Amino acid sequence: MKILVINAGSSSLKYQLFEMLDKVVIAKGLVERIGIADGKLTHRYGENGKFELDVDMKNHTVAMEHVLEALMSPEHGVIHSIDEISAVGHRVLHGGEKLTKSIIIDDYVEQVIEEYFPLGPLHNPANLMGIRACKAIMPDTPMVAVFDTAFHQTMPPKAYLYGIPRKYYENLGIRRYGFHGTSHRYIAGEIVKKPGLTQGSRVIIAHLGNGSSLSACVDGKCQDTSMGLTPLEGVLMGTRSGSLDPAVVQFISERESMTATQVVNMLNKESGLLALSQRSSDMRDVYTGAEEGDKNCQETLDVWAYGVKKYVGAYAAAMGGLDALVFTAGIGENDYRSRASVCEGLEFMGIKIDARKNEALRGVEGMISAEDSKVQVWVMPTNEELAIARDTLSLVTAEAQ
């Protein structure tokens, strides 16, 4: 059974075609510059196969036509007909409080995704365009929506309510939602299968990449997470500031004659590692800078690790203890120095890593805690696309029965 996973952005579209029998990706690709000049499709297949096409695409439907042509091409395709694709799973940013699980897409689901445009202005419209493009070309193929916010919907009110007048929650839906939910859910499901851990284990998941978020999970369910109404809240990220005093927005806006929107754009796109290091939003470059003696880079690394460490402490306190800490995403999976700096000094709470195991692990799964560590510390590559494909398969299979 083959499942196509789609992640549609406003001018881009990523896809992966899974063979679900052995859970492998048989083809994947990226369409860029949809709706603007110099469009491009990059399609990868088999071991090292690659096909590139320069073509202008006026909208997502045209982009999807090219994707399907590539998938079915006699030269670089992997299927003979659209009918071989059993279902399509779509990544959708915001399901709000109404769509709290993955779901088969019907008119109601489309309507709710649209209703949440104000909460996900950059993503939800693009995600819906991707869904409509696929429906136009594959009207008889079942489609499933998988939401970035859904996993976090188990948070209790004490974790998701902000201390502002209730009318803003009741009328405008302002609360903590959390993001990267598909990644957190995938890791939460995998970690409790490890020896010594149980379904009831208390787990902190540190998804540390260009965008970063942490979650506290008990019973495989989210109790709290660091991102909020939008993905701006929480720890320092590539170009996002993470949490700060909201009065900063007004202060900068008045002093620099900027609108609130301009300030928030700056906090999203020109802040974080990039702004503090004055060098790069990429963690690797910040380390290189620090090694060269650049004080701003060293300070940036200190701010980053200190911020992540504080969440680890806070979530352990919130859960009344900790059984496992998992590092995932670009930085979490690949960078032993970042993992070491987050864990440094946390021995008092039972987190003790084995430096050699930590240094040896890069991009693969493994346990990095010392034999006598009370808390298991793991590196675990995330796989959001596989999680989307699994949900899609199980929903369409259930519906067929």
Closest distance of CB 232 from ligand AMP, Å: 15
Pick 110 or 282: Cβ nearer ligand AMP: 282
Nearer to ligand AMP, 96 or 238 (CB): 238
Identified catalytic residue from 22, 83, 107, 148: 148
- Which part of the chain contacts ligand AMP (CB under 6 A), choosing from 7-15, 307-315, 316-324, 328-336? 328-336
**Residue 227 — φ and ψ, nearest 5°?**
-80, 160
The binder of ligand AMP chosen from 84, 110, 219, 282 (CB under 6 A): 282
The per-residue b/e assignment along 253-273, b for 16 or more CB within 10 angstroms, e otherwise, is: beeeeeeeeebbebbbeebbb
* Residue choice 238, 272, 307, 350 for contact with ligand AMP (CB under 6 A): 238
Of positions 68, 290, 308, 329, contacts ligand AMP by CB under 6 A:
329
Piece of the chain touching ligand AMP by CB under 6 A; list 94-102, 128-136, 323-331, 365-373: 323-331
The backbone torsions φ and ψ at residue 361, rounded to the nearest 5 degrees and listed phi first, read -95, 125
User: Which residue, 238, 200, 236, is CA-closest to 220?
Assistant: 200
191 binds ligand AMP (CB under 6 A): no
| Cα–Cα distance measured from residue 20 to residue 17, given in angstroms and rounded to the nearest whole number | 9
CB of 42 to ligand AMP, least distance (A): 17
- Among this protein's residues, is 83 annotated catalytic? no
End-to-end CA distance of the chain: 16
334 binds ligand AMP (CB under 6 A): yes
CA distance 59 to 72: 20
242 lines the binding site for ligand AMP (CB under 6 A): no
Alpha-carbon span 320 to 322, nearest angstrom: 7
Closer to ligand AMP at the Cβ: 236 or 325? 236
Question: Alpha carbon of 370 to those of 197, 332, 355, 375: distances in Å?
Answer: 16, 18, 8, 9
For residue 216, how many other CB atoms are within 10 A of its CB?
A: 26
The binder of ligand AMP chosen from 335, 384, 385, 391 (CB under 6 A): 335
Nearer to ligand AMP, 50 or 284 (CB): 284
Nearest-CA neighbor of 87 among 102, 70, 69, 74? 102
Residue 222 vs 331, nearer CB to ligand AMP:
331
Among 3, 57, 87, 331, binds ligand AMP (CB under 6 A): 331
* Interacting residue with ligand AMP among 283, 319, 367, 379 (CB under 6 A): 283
Label residues 126-152 b or e (16+ Cβ within 10 Å = b). bbbbbbbbbbeebeebbbbbbbbbbbb
If binding means CB under 6 A, how many residues of this protein chain bind ligand AMP? Answer: 11
- Residue whose CB is less far from ligand AMP, 148 or 323: 148
Could you say which of 42, 61, 73, 210 contacts ligand AMP (CB under 6 A)? 210
- Residue 96 or 272: the one with the smaller Cβ distance to ligand AMP is 272
Per CB under 6 A, which of residues 80..99 are in contact with ligand AMP?
none
- With binding defined as CB under 6 A, does residue 308 bind ligand AMP? no
- Enclosing H/E stretch for 215: strand 212-218
Q: Answer yes or no: are the C-beta atoms of 216 and 319 closer than 8 Å.
A: yes
Q: Which range of residues in 11-19, 162-170, 193-201, 331-339 is near ligand AMP by CB under 6 A?
A: 331-339
- Cα separations (Å) of 62 from 81, 133, 136, 225? 18, 8, 10, 38
Please report whether residue 19 would count as binding ligand AMP according to CB under 6 A.
no
User: How far apart are alpha carbons 207 and 171 in whole angstroms?
Assistant: 31
Question: Considering the rule CB under 6 A, would residue 330 count as an interface residue with ligand AMP?
Answer: yes
Contact 143, 105 (CB under 8 A): yes
Q: How many CB atoms lie within 10 A of CB 59?
A: 13
Give me the half-sphere count of Cα atoms (radius 13 Å) on the Cβ side of residue 235.
30
Q: Which residues of the chain form contacts with ligand AMP (CB under 6 A)?
A: 209-210, 238, 282-284, 329-331, 334-335
Any idea which residues carry the catalytic annotation?
148
